[in-house]
Amino acid sequence: MSVTVARDVTEAVKVPRALFLPWPMGHHFGVPFHRDLQRRVILAALKLLEESAEPGTIRTIRDLPIKWADVRREAKSMLTIQGQRL
């Protein structure tokens, strides 16, 4: 069960199941300190692990309606509270 931000590579290497998120490299599970978002990604991946019957299934953002711009904004506010900058 893979969580990927590179769909074309994942299609090519033929993993059994993958959750594709069109997010920047290094941000597979979201943004810093956004615990809820990180959990949602993991749980979506684990749900696919339990449900997927077709080898090579790649589930996309359409099944996990989260916009990167929104989570980025939420991350900035979280870091601002901590006195850090994103």
Which residues of the shown chain bind other proteins in the complex (CB under 8 A)?
1-4, 6-10, 12-17, 20, 22, 24-33, 35, 38-39, 41-43, 45-46, 49-50, 52-56, 58, 60-62, 75, 79, 84, 86
Residue 45 φ/ψ, nearest 5 degrees:
-65, -45
Least distance to other proteins, CB of residue 76, Å:
11
**Which residue matches tokens 């077709």?**
54
- Bridge partners (DSSP) of residue 4 are 20
Under 8 Å between Cβ of 49 and 59: no
Least distance to other proteins, CB of residue 73, Å:
14
- Bridge partners (DSSP) of residue 58 are 18
Least distance to other proteins, CB of residue 14, Å:
5
